[in-house]
Amino acid sequence: SQQGEEDPQALSIQEGENATMNCSYKTSINNLQWYRQNSGRGLVHLILIRSNEREKHSGRLRVTLDTSKKSSSLLITASRAADTASYFCATFVRGAQKLVFGQGTRLTINP
């Protein structure tokens, strides 16, 4: 089964609102990463948070990590139509040699 599970599977909000996506995982990790995928395109790395970090910011993105609950959240503030995409969390599992992706959240920003 997948290491990471995103919630919700789909999210539709109005432009200007904040979007929050959650990710849960199962095993110990070195870090957790968030990626964005526009329809039909490759993935673009957004932000990486290490297992000893609790919160990280990058522009309008805010990521939190709770290792005790094995969960992370991605917040996009002041959403724009261009933020419409699928968002995936990926974990680099401790001891493993690969990034494992969740199923993704499909975000739609309505103008």
**Binding residues for other proteins, per CB under 8 A?**
2, 30-31, 33, 35, 41-45, 48, 88, 92, 96-104, 106
Report in angstroms how near the CB of residue 13 gets to other proteins at its nearest: 20
Report in angstroms how near the CB of residue 23 gets to other proteins at its nearest: 11
Which CB atom, from 43 or from 109, has the smaller least distance to other proteins? 43
Which CB atom, from 1 or from 14, has the smaller least distance to other proteins? 1
Give which of 92, 95, 55 is closest to 75, Cα–Cα.
55
42: three-class secondary structure by DSSP: coil
What are the b/e assignments for 93-108, b being 16+ CB within 10 Å?
Answer: beeeeebbbbebbbbe
Give which of 61, 50, 54, 63 is closest to 91, Cα–Cα.
50
Report in angstroms how near the CB of residue 16 gets to other proteins at its nearest: 27
Which CB atom, from 18 or from 45, has the smaller least distance to other proteins? 45
Q: Given the structure tokens 């917040």, which residue do they identify? A: 75
Report in angstroms how near the CB of residue 78 gets to other proteins at its nearest: 25
Which CB atom, from 15 or from 61, has the smaller least distance to other proteins? 61
Q: Cβ-count burial of 110 within 10 angstroms (0-12 exposed, 13-18 middle, 19+ buried)?
A: exposed
